[in-house]
Amino acid sequence: EAQVTQNPRYLITVTGKKLTVTCSQNMNHEYMSWYRQDPGLGLRQIYYSMNVEVTDKGDVPEGYKVSRKEKRNFPLILESPSPNQTSLYFCASSRPGNNQPQHFGDGTRLSIL
C-alpha cells in the first residue's frame, strides 16, 4: 500500500530535549515536505526537499532541521524544542510537476512542556 509513515504519532516532551520525527514514503517520490498545523494559522510549510541531499526552507523553518540522505526518508529534527513548537506536524511527498498532489502522513501531535 502506497503511504507516508510518520513516527511517533504522539509525543509529549520537555523544553530543550532534542527529538526527531521520522517520515518515510514508499512511492519513490522525489519531493518531500514538512508542515505544521496550528489553529487560526492553517497549514504552513517548514522545510521541503526536491531530492536526495537537496533541501530548502519553507515559511517557518526556525528551530527545525531536516536531512535527506535517502530518497524514502525525510526526518524532522528539533534540536532544542520550545513550547511554541507544540503543534500538529505533517509529512508529505509527491512527484515533480503541477499536476502531482502531495500525499500526507497521518500526522504527529507534539506537545512541548
Distances (CA, A) of 5 to 31, 63, 74, 82, 106: 15, 23, 10, 24, 7
Q: Which of 65, 71, 72, 109 binds other proteins (CB under 8 A)?
A: 109
Residues 12-51 that bind other proteins (CB under 8 A): 31, 33, 40-45, 48-50
72 binds other proteins (CB under 8 A): no
Residues 89 and 107: beta-carbon distance below 8 Å: yes
Element (H, E) at 5: strand 4-7
> Residue 14 or 41: which CB sits closer to other proteins?
41
| Contact call for residue 102 and other proteins (CB under 8 A) | yes
61 interacts with other proteins by CB under 8 A: no
Report if residue 104 touches other proteins, rule: CB under 8 A: yes
Q: How many residues can be counted in the chain? A: 113
d(Cα 67, Cα 85) in Å, to the nearest integer?
19
The residue ranges that bind other proteins (CB under 8 A) are 31, 33, 40-45, 48-50, 58, 88, 90, 92, 94-107, 109
